[in-house]
């Protein structure tokens, strides 16, 4: 299952896109080709508004997805997961909403306005609606924004790691944070320009931008006013706040896991089943579904069978050829498929001597893996235009995309062997290279998904003749537990992308400077500095050039090998619409509030 933050994602091709609507939660429909050319709005440009539509009551809906809710606070590195992000936009207040075409719009259900008051210095004014409240009636506004600012920007560390386990990108560029007495107007001044200001405090930034009910933290810690806790000082209050921030919102606890959206989390069995019901305190148009029952089903075939048996109305399986053929031939279903913002890749654990001390092994693996073969066998039947991925930071459907991995991952056994032998590795009688008592053998960890099992088999098969041994280290709890803990040799997983770019920073910056989602323990000071530069560049062309420079450096370091762009895929009973998929912010449920049913 995909992890978050990479802002993350994918081949300069025409993407398969089911009909998208603007301003009303999008629309479903059969597969339709459409080009994407995503460019960010200019600083100070007029943003388009978004409001949730008025729709009829359609009762209870059942949904099957691959992985369900785990932790309420998705801002922390130890928890962040796409599994949480599928649900968070349904109850989290946010200045900006991500629509079906990945555009960012001011969410008028929450905001009266978001205004760029100045560009030198950059000053942004946020005006929250007076009726925007949490499900216990507490107002949404200043305190909630300040808590996230404090969590991200404080330099305080505990045992050498950020106290709040949150990345600083963007928030650390704020020089002044002011609120009106009613807490509904917040004015933020930046010490240096920040290009992706729309992603701060926003579901658009995925993990790291989720607003939490700060008054709950105050109640649980005894802190009378979180806005009085200084950002730049190590105080007992900061440490108390960090303790609750990182531990108090784990798993599910209805007493602290509040909603300020159209749905409220009624119950949750971790990564098994979640029940959402309409939030009685929601001030906007009520959601179409009165209740959403969402179950985790890891077997894509089982999902399809549930849909065929009418046990569920909506499914979002891992897209493979068999699944795509079944639902497309099923008759009474709506299918959504398009190249999305999620990409599959293999990370090498740089905390392990095998990979940290042997760059030649990393490059040899990258040589012997045959990425085109993987794409041909596992992806093309779903998306015929799929290609191996060539960039981690800029999506193939975005202006500025450059391929920095051309010629890499071509199944070149001779090149892999030469890299190993030039570095002093000797081929053993078992057919595996060894050096200084260490064999070129490692496990590839991953979540148990059929396509990932097959990917490991294909990689192992293409690298075996090169004297490199890969074994399958898959496990059901890999993404949830082993991956963030660093308990792996190599990891096969996905990052999820975004229309904002600063959220990629925590994936690749050194852990010491805020890389809370840098599970591979990669570190390059030049990359760290260039990310800071990119996040301050308001000129689009200059910023894309800097991001490409970063990606080129990372390609040369080869701590991670990009594989391919995943296809956003969902299927639904044709009576229900508009059902589609936006991987970065909600998956198949990104617009669940707008679902309707024909009689």
**What domains appear along the chain, each with residue ranges and CATH number?**
341-566 (3.10.105.10)
Integer Cα distance of 23 and 41 in angstroms: 17
Tokens of 91: 């109850």
Integer Cα distance of 168 and 509 in angstroms: 11
How many Å is the Cα radius of gyration of the chain? 23
More reliable by pLDDT, 33 or 259: 259
Mean pLDDT of 396-413: 91
> What is the sign of the dihedral through the CA atoms of 13, 18, 21 and 26?
negative
The average confidence (pLDDT) of the chain is 89
Is the entire prediction scored with pTM above 0.85? Answer: no
- Confidence band for 167, pLDDT divided at 50, 70 and 90: confident
- Contact assessment for residue 232 and residue 171, using Cβ atoms and an 8 Å cutoff: no
**pLDDT tens digits, one per residue of 20-53:** 223 334 433 332 222 223 345 566 667 889 999 9
| Strand, coil or helix: 185 | strand
Mean pLDDT of 295-324: 90
Integer Cα distance of 478 and 493 in angstroms: 10
- Contact assessment for residue 480 and residue 272, using Cβ atoms and an 8 Å cutoff: no
- Contact assessment for residue 505 and residue 167, using Cβ atoms and an 8 Å cutoff: yes
Rounded to 5 degrees, φ, ψ at 16 are -80, 120
Q: Give pLDDT, residue 43.
A: 67
Residues in the chain, total: 599
Least confident span in 131-135, 215-219, 309-313, 337-341? 337-341
**pLDDT tens digits, one per residue of 261-309:** 999 999 999 989 999 999 999 999 999 999 999 999 988 889 999 999 9
Rounded to 5 degrees, φ, ψ at 585 are -140, 70
Q: What angle do CA 45, 51, 56 make, to 5 degrees?
A: 160
**Cβ partners under 8 Å of residue 29, min gap 6:** 18, 19, 334, 336, 577, 578, 580
Q: Give pLDDT, residue 277.
A: 98
Q: Is the N-terminal amide bond of 322 cis, ω within 30° of 0?
A: no
**pLDDT tens digits, one per residue of 467-503:** 999 999 999 889 889 999 999 999 999 987 777 888 7
**Cβ partners under 8 Å of residue 487, min gap 6:** 445, 481
Integer Cα distance of 155 and 149 in angstroms: 12
């Amino acid at each position: 299952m995909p992890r978050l933050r990479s802002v993350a994602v994918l081949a300069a091709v025409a993407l398969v896109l089911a009909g998208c609507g603007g301003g009303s939660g999008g629309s479903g429909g059969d597969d339709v080709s459409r080009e994407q050319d995503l460019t960010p709005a200019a600083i100070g440009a007029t943003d388009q508004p978004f409001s949730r539509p008025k729709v009829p009551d359609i009762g209870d809906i059942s949904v099957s997805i691959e992985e369900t809710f785990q932790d309420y606070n998705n801002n922390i590195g130890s928890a962040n997961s796409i599994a949480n992000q599928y649900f968070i936009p349904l109850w989290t207040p946010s200045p900006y909403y991500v629509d079906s075409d990945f555009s960012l719009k001011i969410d008028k259900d929450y905001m009266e306005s978001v205004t760029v008051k100045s560009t030198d210095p950059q000053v942004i004014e946020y005006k929250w609606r007076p009726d925007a409240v949490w499900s216990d009636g507490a107002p949404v506004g200043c305190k909630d924004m300040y808590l996230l600012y404090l969590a991200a920007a404080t330099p305080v560390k505990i045992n050498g790691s950020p106290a709040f386990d949150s990345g600083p990108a963007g928030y650390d560029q704020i020089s002044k944070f002011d609120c009106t007495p009613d807490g509904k107007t917040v004015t933020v001044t930046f010490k240096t320009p920040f290009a992706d200001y729309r992603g701060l405090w926003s579901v658009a930034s995925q993990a790291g931008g989720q607003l939490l009910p700060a008054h709950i933290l105050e109640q649980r810690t005894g802190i009378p006013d979180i806005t009085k806790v200084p950002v730049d000082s190590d105080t007992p209050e900061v440490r108390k706040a960090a303790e609750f921030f990182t531990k108090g919102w784990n798993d599910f606890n209805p007493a602290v896991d509040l909603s300020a959206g159209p749905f409220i989390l009624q119950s949750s069995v971790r990564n098994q089943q979640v029940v959402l019901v309409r939030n009685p305190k929601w001030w906007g148009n009520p959601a179409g579904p009165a209740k959403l029952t969402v179950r985790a089903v890891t077997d894509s075939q089982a999902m399809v069978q549930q849909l065929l048996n009418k046990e569920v109305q909506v499914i979002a399986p891992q897209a493979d050829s068999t699944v795509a053929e079944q639902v497309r031939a099923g008759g009474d279903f709506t299918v959504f498929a398009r190249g999305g913002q999620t990409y599959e890749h293999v990370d090498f654990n740089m905390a392990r001597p095998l990979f940290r001390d042997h760059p030649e092994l990393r490059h040899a693996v990258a040589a012997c893996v045959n990425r085109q073969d993987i794409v041909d066998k596992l992806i093309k039947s779903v998306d015929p235009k799929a290609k191996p991925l060539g960039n981690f930071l800029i999506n193939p459907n975005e202006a500025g995309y450059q391929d920095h991995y051309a010629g890499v991952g071509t199944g070149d056994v001779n090149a892999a062997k030469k890299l190993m032998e030039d570095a002093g590795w000797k081929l053993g009688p078992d057919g595996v290279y060894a050096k200084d008592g260490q064999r070129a053998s490692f496990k590839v960890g991953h979540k148990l998904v059929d396509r990932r099992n097959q990917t490991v088999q294909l990689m192992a098969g293409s690298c075996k003749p090169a004297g490199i041994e890969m074994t399958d280290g898959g496990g059901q709890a890999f993404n949830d537990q082993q991956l963030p803990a660093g308990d792996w040799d190599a990891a096969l997983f996905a990052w999820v992308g975004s229309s904002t770019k600063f959220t990629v920073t925590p994936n690749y910056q050194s852990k010491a400077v805020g890389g809370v989602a840098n599970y591979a323990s990669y570190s390059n000071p030049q990359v760290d500095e260039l990310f800071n530069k990119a996040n301050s560049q308001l000129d689009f062309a200059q910023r894309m050039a800097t991001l490409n420079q970063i990606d080129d450096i990372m390609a040369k370091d080869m701590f991670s090998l990009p594989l391919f762009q995943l296809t956003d895929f969902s299927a639904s009973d044709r009576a229900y619409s508009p059902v589609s998929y936006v991987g970065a912010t909600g998956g198949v449920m990104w617009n669940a509030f707008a679902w309707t049913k024909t009689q």
